[in-house]
Structure 1
Amino acid sequence: MMSPFLARTIRTLSIGQFVFLLSMAAMILAVVVVLLMSTFVERRAIGDLAQEEARQTSELIFQSLYTAMRKGWTKDEIGEIVDRLNESQPGTDIRVFRGAPVIAQYGDIPGEAPVRDTDQLVTQAFRTAEPVLETGEDHIRYVYPVLVRDECQTCHEAAIGQVNGVVDISYPITDLKVSVGFVIKSVIAYFTLILTTLFLALYFKLRVFVAQPISRFAGVIEEIISHTDLNRRVGPGTHLREVNSLSQHFNRLLGTIQEYQDKLEHFSQRDPLTNLYNRRKFEDFLRMEVARGQRHGHPFSLIMMDLDDFKSINDTYGHPVGDLALKELATVLDRRMRRTDIIARLGGDEFAVLMPQTTAEQGAIAAENLRKAVAETSLRLPVGATRVGASFGLVTFPDNGATVEKLSIAMDVAMYKAKRLGKNRVATLDSGEEDAAMAVFQKGRMLKDALADDAIEPVFQAICTSADTRPFALEVLARVRTPEGLKTAGEFIEAADELGLTRDIDERIFEKGLATLAAQRDPDLKMFFNLSGRSLAAAEWMHEVPARARAAGVAAERIVFEITEREALPHFDKLVKIIDAMRGHGVRFALDDFGSGFSSFVYLKFLDVDYIKIEGSLIRNLRRDPRDRVMVSHIHQMAKEFGLSTIAEFVEDAETLALLQEMGIDYVQGWHLGAPGPI
């Protein structure tokens, strides 16, 4: 198993190191194999050569001795021949031992028996009648048995095949071994030289053609990451097709990424429809201009333009035609302003112009000229030529603000002032109205940020049955989460209404309220939602309510919308139709703040509602003012005549609750029964 250290080392090797180690490992393995094979070959070669030479020598000696024996030579003469043979071949030791047939016929040679009987090889040769070979480090020993033949029987009384004697030859192999060893070592040296040459060639090729190009490749990637420079490219630098192909593909990839980066950079600064600067880039320019103005004291002016009734073009002809109109207007703005002016599309049909080193008087002239140019331009659209007007807000640094935030709010305030004054005009701000409008728009900025950050949160207050104070429904109330805590509706609802944000808040609260209602275990629990006039007037959104409820897993009968006289009056005719349609799906309605004005009673005749929420000021003073008790009692009786249920708000103590129970009020709500909060 590989050690952790070795594993970490291998993981951190460079390509050059890996190639070097791989080549070295291959070379070492080859050398080890060669050495093992050479040792085996050497031993085998020496054994085979020595055995053959010893056999031939023994045969020659035996033939010499046999010739002497045939002539009838004595043992002394034979011994002399053996001595001469030993002298003629230095290092060779020749001995002759008599076998049993010869000993029986001629007797044993003195001193030979102990050697013959104790020498294992001699004994083995006598016993097996087969030659025996022993190979040592520097010699070989060959024991050759002399067997009885036909011609031997003329002199010896022995049977054919018996061992008449043994010739024992010890033969030096030093010269033979040196010769074979020289050949083997020469082969090893030659083979090692070839391996080394191949290793160096392989290492050089891999290093030059693979490792170095890939190292350069990695270096370019590192430089790109370090310096974010997509202009770098990898050169070919090698003859390997695959490495060159990798470099080419990488360069094409860099080109594609650079192209996309340029496009992203363009779109991060420009509006894709009009090619004007977008809001983010405009704010960057505004920050730089504020810093320059603070440093050098140069004034500059800002124009904010919002098209009047542009929604009608989108609704009548469709958004593609509206987009063409916006592009035409962008061309008019670009043609009418100076080259040094910064023109941006802030979103929708809102545009802004930053005019460096421009006083309030110069800005007023430029804004008025721009207003006339827009109003007099005939937009050529596929549906025909048309004209549009726009409301312009003009502010100046540092008169209307010395920071980016204040100037941005001042632009909005001035533009909305132009809307209120009748549209198609240029409006500026004076110090008297600036502070009040600033407060509204600061709250508006807070609400826009809250909507963007999903910081609009619902809280819930229980509506209970009067008899046993059991929860009957939950009223959803909007809150805004800020670093300072939750802000109540009273702190932002007027600003939201003035800036047209109430519908966005209503939709966010409705969505979260539905999710909360769907999670409740009580299937009969209802939820009351407060709707602004803008939401009530949005017939398309109202008609989607039943489908949204079903999608959330909530029955439409569990939804109750609260409407007030202030919200109902501007949209009365439309509201009557919406209520009738919604009730057909099961949605219920409550008339809020009932009794705050005499017209409340008239609404009962025309609005088909289910609940009456009695004006809170009448409930709050119920235990102290008998007249309030009379009015509340009569409202309740009248509601019963109309078949409606009554809800008393602002129940803040047990005595008030007891009076309401005595009157027979259906439902109660207030701090005495539970404060608004999370579920």
Structure 2
Amino acid sequence: MSVKLNRAKTLEEIADLGLEFLLRLAHLETGWMVIEEAEGFRLVAARNLPPGLEADDRSVLTSGGCTCQQLFVSGRLKTTGQFVECERLQRVAEAGERLSEAERRTLSGGLGRHLSIPLLAGGERLGIANLAFPHGFEPPQELYQVLTLAGAALGSAIHRGLLLERQQHQRSDLEERLLHLSKELLKSDALDDLKRVLASEMQALGPLAPLELAVLWRPQGRGFPKELEGVHRILVGGVSPDPAGRLARALEAGEAPTEATWDGAVGLFPLRVQATPALPFEGALLVRLERAPEDRRLANWAYGMAAELIAAAIARLLSQERLRYLSFHDPLTGLLNRRGFMEHLRTALPLAARERWNLAVAMVDMDDFKLYNDRFGHLAGDRLLREAARVMKEHLRASDVVARIGGDEFALLLQNTTIEGAGFALERIREAMAKMPYAGVSIGVAFFPDDAQEPEELLRSADLALYDSKTQKRVVFVAPGLRERFKRRLRLESAIEAALRSPDLPGFSLHFQPRYDVDRRRVSAFEALLRFHGPAGPVSPLEVFAIAAERGWMMDLTRFVLTEALGFYAAHRDCIPAGVRVGVNVPPALLVPELLDLVQATLEEHGLGPEVLELEVTEEVIAHDDTPWAVLEELGRLGVRLALDDFGSGFSNLGRLVTLPIQVLKLDRSFVELLTTHNERGVPAVRGIVAMGLDMGLVVVAEGVESDEALERVRAAGVREVQGYVLSRPVPPRELLERNFA
């Protein structure tokens, strides 16, 4: 029985087991146990009570006084006693006076007297165990002593049960208070609110309320405002400097506590959230109580929960601060981003207008950053960008603004300046950057109010000057002609956007340039080339593509070309010989899963198989480590033929060429020029590349063949497919049909 009592986890379990033990000792069947409380006695266990002693919640046993309880309260019930005239049993008998004998026996169970056993522990009165028996039964005298000793032993177990119950009540009370703390912390809108919440709510922890409290934390990682850097303290009640100071120094050194510890009345608890191991900060909760906690396990649980709630609140508020910061700042450099710069510019322009200041907006582009990034990797590129940001800030005034608005693009705002002052500062930046490897910059500048009055227009004007800077290798200011070019560009952008949104409008069209098999004297493929007729006449495709790339319209352009080219092929499939393919150029940046869906959908729309389509990608696709192999391979599995365009124009990588899933190798026109300039080394080099391509099973095509001599020389080098003006310029669709497929 002692083993069972030790394993019992609640007062009710202990009382029930103890009552069972006492009944067995006395060879009786009916009994109940009550515990003394401030307001009376509470029933905690009962066995086999007859109906007359039962009531809702057994409350009949806890109400009203009786002799045994009065003796217990007065301290006179120290050993087991027999009560012949039990008030409770008398009330049951009185209730059954008008009943038959059988009904009275059923009501009372035949019980007439009971033994009362005091439950004591260390001199402390705890309660009474009552064992009832019928008239005519006389307990042996030795049983009284046995039950008294058993009651004393059981008293220790009951005492433990009462402590467990008290702890459970304390824990439940603490849970309610911690739940309220959680709700109040959730109402906090800013980190500054936490001190107010902790000052009021932590005092509600009853006996565990701290005399002093401190929360110390330090953000980790990038993307936080400068004012949030370092160790932060929330102090309540004037925390003693020693432990708080030691904790702050530990956090500064990156040594945050990982376990709960107590040093007398001072407790230290790490700030962590079990469900989120990685928090954007590290820190701890420090408390000082009036004395060391009596129940350290309960204290650890309560303050551990409090620390977790505080940690969750700090994490939430820090995330909000970080999101607010990142919405206006670049996380890599800590500079303003495009949105932040434009907001700052919108605020600065009215002030400049009121004070009659000149403002300079400069666009800065790092000329060779892409090359540096490709050669040395992204981490090195990030370091270079941070260093560039530092140099720019170093050479400007505190009132000026530096922002990173793109990958390698920066925007500068110089307030209350002159052309001479801005030019001097920006030239110093250009010279300082030129001393750093791969960090040369181009800078274009626009002035408010002379060049533009609106933020977007200022930025665009400076961007146009930036293009001139790339060729002139100096700081370039907006010139009179530049404003006209800017307006023309705006008109052109609007026309391109309108044509993309409404394909029925005039603007875009296709020309086709055939490719010939010179041995068989027939067309082997024809390449679709985009043409655009703007408001002022034809526009160079290169200019159209540059605008589309900047505005994010390249997929729209590719969709137009693909749809029109395959639509033309489908409309004239009866006169186009089998095996002839239509070629469509695809920029490397568009080799994404969306392209696969577009190709499949467009082929299905026109009822064509993949064998009619040839996609041309420039050799830039094999220049970098992030070659989109999966998309290329999936296009190959689909049955679309892949051609590597402009091979040899500057990015060639033979190692990657071997593994690239292509079927056509289109030599850049520079190889043709080598053959026609009689370069002694060039001729065998071109022949070697042609032979290599043919040995790999590729169709080798010479592009840019513009003379009869060039045609003869590429044929002599082993090339069998040729594309160039000597055979055909790009022509409208009808002319392609009439010349080649009539």
TM range, normalised to the smaller chain?
A: 0.3 to 0.5
Q: How high is the TM-score relative to the length of structure 2?
A: 0.35
Normalising by structure 1, report the TM-score. Answer: 0.38
Which structure's residues are more often helix, by fraction?
Answer: 1
- When Rg is computed on C-alpha atoms for both structures, the one with the higher figure is 1
